[in-house]
Chain A
Amino acid sequence: MADSNPFPLAKDALLACYRRMRTIREFEDRLHVDFSRGDIPGFVHLYAGEEATAVGIMSHLGDGDRIASTHRGHGHCIAKGVDVVAMMKEIYGRIGGCGNGKGGSMHIADLSKGMMGANGILGAGAPLICGAALAAKYRKKNEVGICFVGDGASNQGTFLESLNLAAVWNLPVVFVVENNGYAESTSRDYATAVNSYVDRASGFGLPGITVDGTDFFGVYEAAGEVIKRAREGGGPSLLECKMIRFHGHFEGDAQTYRAPGETEDNRANHDCLKIFNAHVTGAKVISAAELQAIDTEVLALIDDAVVQAKAAPLPTLADLASDVYVTY
């Protein structure tokens, strides 16, 4: 064994991070299968391959810190601590889901965990998080807001206006650009005049940095600094995470825009879970058997979530008008 743990997290915390990442992967891979069988209503956009970014960032947050997610929100939810069974029920459209089965994949929210919601409208999370961050600033509890946005959605006016607002009000916000290389299927070189998200931030006077989103430890360290800055009153910043999306933009996407062999190369050489495993087992901090035990435990968790989701009742017509207006 090595002299000591070389990582910036204790072994228990590393295991917890691995469990969250593995849960996201298993959750998404199961949805990939179940959706293809026609079991799931609506659309799903899967986060598999991007787990290190969500968990690397969320490891620095508490329930009082708010996040605003995207249409690809399952990973953010799980990383923020939202109940996996309630999520599965929601995606299956069942009573007992996060929104009692009436929201589906793109509207999962759990305010008790600081998860303000996935969002079917691209770029819509950015102004929402500015509101949450303004509230945090008034509450003076050193809470922060994290907004996730895809590389395509960063062209939306809402996002750019939010960068401006956050800078003007010096809000405790981190704008995370999850750059998975594809705005649905459109090349950024075609659709983005200045293809740099850090440069977007510079235009509004915000510092921005880029990090390899497939490396948990790189994300963890970088996120730690930008979140610390926001928490201590240093104001907003932008974190671009370069990452890999294993599945299509949506389930059913034929992905004809990918280069030959790209998906195979991604899974073989750029899988953030394999990279994490190599780090922690290579340093002899965690054994392969310990990781395998978590894999088994997570598999059972997801199996159970699907069984519970399928067994839960569907909303009825009588439920249609409920929960339309909610008092917090």
Chain B
Amino acid sequence: MSTVLSNSAPCIGIIANPVSARDIRRIVANAGNLQITDRVSMLLRLLSAAGSLGVKRALMMPDKGGVSAMLIRAIAREHDLQHAFPSVEFLDMVPTTTVNDTFTAARLLREAGVKVIVVLGGDGTHRAVVRECRDIPITGMSTGTNNAFPELREPTITGLAVGLYASGQLSAAQALVPNKLLEVSINDGARTDIALVDVVISSDRFIGARALWKMDSLSAVYLSFAEPQAIGLSAIGSLLQPLGRRAPGGLAVELSDNPALRRLQLLAPIAPGMVRPVGIAQWQPMPAGQPFTVAQRAGVVALDGEREMTFDTGDRVQITLRENAFPTVDVATCLQLAADQGLFRHISQSN
């Protein structure tokens, strides 16, 4: 996409993953499945709200999983009903139905100069966007399986916050907030990746169906934040020592079922519908910028709940927490400021 946008044409980017919330946890743990129809309805509500605050265009990742096809039909229907919506244009890319689509779309959206990228997906989708593009603010909409990073919120409200920032009614200093992440390095940078919430070390040594749900294979958990109301592996940390997403540092937890090493057993909601005892050997804070070396000799590194990187005997795996790593739109603060400054009142009177 060669389009470069001017400031006078507020435009947002959208990356909606059609296949998040489709993994094996629906079989082993009764996890939820946000249907394509619901994903499209969420996007319509977000677009409607953003459009009401002056967003005229949205650039979106195309997909072969049904979201873009249904959205096109839905917007045509809305136009037939004389409902106003921002125009939605699709990025010039051929979908591969892999995570590479998210990488490509994030890069193209940055090149196009969008002010913000709206992400619809789980922790993994958000991670993929940030991996490719750390400098464009993102705002998340959760597809709701096992997510700690995107907050559950009505998309209309998210759309208003996006509209306030994209249209310039709120500045970056007002609307954005910095986030932490975890960097993974194998053999001093020979292979690298990131996680937004959790890096988990498993004794499994194959990627397979990707999702993690068997506790007996896990040996360590590294967390950028750990909120006690969150579902998933970050609950292991949050129920030991809660750590806010804006607080400094991270948390490292060593797991063990060996009675000689285990200090306590923790009951934690490690996946939807799965509350399991977890053997805890020790835990400690992770100061920003300080690498933690993984003790396990061979296994797999899971990033935000999915097995991603295998390593073998002799490989050196290090995890480092980074602060101020990427910006997100702080939806609650945006709406609070809008209320305080009477921004919606003004819009209401002018109409």
Q: Give A residues with C-beta under 8 Å from B.
A: 2-3, 6-8, 181, 188-189, 192-196, 198-199, 202, 207-211, 215, 217-218, 220-222, 225-226, 229, 237, 240, 242, 259, 279, 283
Chain A residues positioned under 8 Å from B18 (CB to CB): 195-196
* Chain A residue at minimal CB-CB distance from B213: A225
Q: Does B27 contact A (CB under 8 A)?
A: yes
* Chain A residue at minimal CB-CB distance from B297: A3
**Nearest Cβ on chain A to B144's Cβ, whole angstroms:** 14
Choose from A3, A207, A217, A237 the contact partner of B207 (Cβ within 8 Å): A217
Residues of A contacting B: mostly: mixed
A to B CB contacts below 8 Å, 30 in the list: A3-B297, A7-B205, A181-B64, A181-B97, A189-B66, A195-B18, A195-B70, A198-B33, A199-B33, A199-B37, A207-B30, A208-B22, A208-B26, A209-B24, A209-B26, A209-B27, A211-B209, A215-B208, A217-B209, A221-B24, A221-B208, A221-B209, A222-B24, A222-B27, A222-B209, A225-B209, A229-B27, A240-B22, A242-B97, A259-B94
Q: Does B348 contact A (CB under 8 A)?
A: no
User: Is there an interface contact between A283 and B205, defined as CB atoms closer than 8 Å?
Assistant: yes
Q: Does B65 contact A (CB under 8 A)?
A: yes
User: Is there an interface contact between B35 and A209, defined as CB atoms closer than 8 Å?
Assistant: no
Chain B residues positioned under 8 Å from A209 (CB to CB): 22-24, 26-27
Choose from B65, B207, B297, B313 the contact partner of A218 (Cβ within 8 Å): B207
User: Is there an interface contact between B33 and A195, defined as CB atoms closer than 8 Å?
Assistant: no
Q: How large is the interface on B (under 10, 10 to 19, 20 to 34, 35 or more residues)?
A: 20 to 34
User: Is there an interface contact between B206 and A198, defined as CB atoms closer than 8 Å?
Assistant: no
Residues of B contacting A: mostly: loop
Once the chains are docked, how many angstroms separate the CA of A2 from the CA of B311?
Answer: 11
Once the chains are docked, how many angstroms separate the CA of A173 from the CA of B321?
Answer: 46
Once the chains are docked, how many angstroms separate the CA of A226 from the CA of B35?
Answer: 20
**Nearest Cβ on chain A to B261's Cβ, whole angstroms:** 20
Chain A residues positioned under 8 Å from B30 (CB to CB): 207
Once the chains are docked, how many angstroms separate the CA of A259 from the CA of B33?
Answer: 31
Once the chains are docked, how many angstroms separate the CA of A67 from the CA of B210?
Answer: 26
What 19 new A-B contacts, CB under 8 Å, besides A196-B65, A198-B22, A283-B205?
A3-B313, A6-B206, A7-B205, A7-B206, A8-B208, A189-B66, A192-B66, A194-B35, A195-B18, A208-B22, A208-B33, A211-B209, A215-B208, A218-B207, A218-B210, A222-B209, A225-B24, A226-B27, A242-B97
Chain B residues positioned under 8 Å from A242 (CB to CB): 97
* Chain A residue at minimal CB-CB distance from B25: A209
Binary A-proximity of B137-160 (CB < 8 A = 1, otherwise 0): 000000000000000000000000
Q: Does B343 contact A (CB under 8 A)?
A: no
Q: Does B308 contact A (CB under 8 A)?
A: no
Chain A residues positioned under 8 Å from B5 (CB to CB): none
Chain B residues positioned under 8 Å from A7 (CB to CB): 205-206
Chain B, 191-242, CB within 8 A of any chain A CB = 204-210
Chain B residues positioned under 8 Å from A6 (CB to CB): 204-206, 298, 310
Once the chains are docked, how many angstroms separate the CA of A283 from the CA of B208?
Answer: 14
Chain A residues positioned under 8 Å from B89 (CB to CB): none
Once the chains are docked, how many angstroms separate the CA of A217 from the CA of B23?
Answer: 14
User: Is there an interface contact between A195 and B208, defined as CB atoms closer than 8 Å?
Assistant: no
